[in-house]
Chain A
């Protein structure tokens, strides 16, 4: 089945039942197809877990990618810091 050039969708898997607790695993998929249609990229990452306890409570637990958040924070810090330094030096000269 052909898929569009760029597609982002959230998928929910079938329930996993362990000791009466039902888990539904959720992931987000990014599909990118090359314009010529001869290849592409699929990026799939976990986003959340839906928990249904036996007493009827429902919770959503987010899955956080700590490594990615830390690396993005470092990148923002380095770019922001360098820009600030450049601005500061330009003002002093």
Chain B
């Protein structure tokens, strides 16, 4: 039988966990960066005599999981294990959401905070609210009619 052991063998690059760990570390660093003040306020922007600092709300969500497993095959009656193997894997994901909230404006007249209104979001919420109310009204009316019909 040929000897398969190679004393001067280089480590298998496929099993090197460093790139995966680096990716996890980078992702976690990016996730935790959302907890700093700098994530919410942008750098000051000079426009003529005014200086504007944008402010936004940041929501960062992340999750990950890992799994490991292994086993060995033992021949019947044999004292030593035949072959063994193992493996592992992991995965994760995340999302960062950001929405402008206000702009801090420094003008020669002083400092003021100007809110940024998301009209699209408000319009969508209004239509959803109206839809919910109309649906509830319809359900209540139809139920009442059904009760009236049953009674008559």
Q: A43-B59, A51-B111, A63-B113 are in contact. Are A25 and B41 (CB under 8 A)?
A: yes
Number of A-B contacts (CB under 8 A): 143
Pick the contact of B37 from A25, A63, A64, A67 — CB < 8 Å?
A25
Q: Would you give the shortest CB distance from B130 to chain A, in whole angstroms?
A: 8
Interface size on B, residues (CB 8 A): 50
The interface bits of chain A over 59-92 (1 if a CB of B lies within 8 angstroms of the residue's CB, else 0) are: 1011111110011001101100110011001000
> With A42-B34, A44-B58, A45-B40 known to touch, is A67 a contact of B118 (CB < 8 Å)?
yes
How far, in whole Å, are A23 and B43 apart by their CA atoms in the complex? 12
Is B102 within 8 A of A44, CB to CB?
no
Which of A23, A34, A75, A93 is B63 in contact with, Cβ under 8 Å?
Answer: A34
Q: Which of A1-34 touch B at CB < 8 Å?
A: 11-13, 16, 18-19, 21, 23, 25-27, 29, 31, 34
On chain A, the number of residues with a Cβ less than 8 Å from chain B's Cβ atoms is: 45
Interface residues of B in 28-49 (CB under 8 A from A): 31-32, 34-41, 44
Interface residues of B in 66-112 (CB under 8 A from A): 92, 94, 99, 101-102, 104, 106, 111-112
Asked if residues B59 and A63 are in contact (CB atoms below 8 Å), the reply is no
What distance in Å separates the Cβ of A47 from its nearest Cβ neighbour in chain B? 9
Report Cα–Cα, A51/B129, bound state, in Å.
39
A11–B36 CB distance below 8 A? yes
Q: Is the CB of A89 within 8 A of B144?
A: yes
**Given A41-B60, A85-B136; A13-B102 close (CB under 8 Å):** no
Minimum C-beta distance from B97 to chain A (A) = 9
Q: Which residues of A contact B (CB under 8 A)?
A: 11-13, 16, 18-19, 21, 23, 25-27, 29, 31, 34, 38-46, 49, 51, 59, 61-67, 70-71, 74-75, 77-78, 81-82, 85-86, 89, 93
Residues of B near any A CB (own CB < 8 A) = 31-32, 34-41, 44, 51, 53, 55-65, 92, 94, 99, 101-102, 104, 106, 111-113, 115-118, 121-122, 125-126, 129, 132-133, 136-137, 140, 144, 147
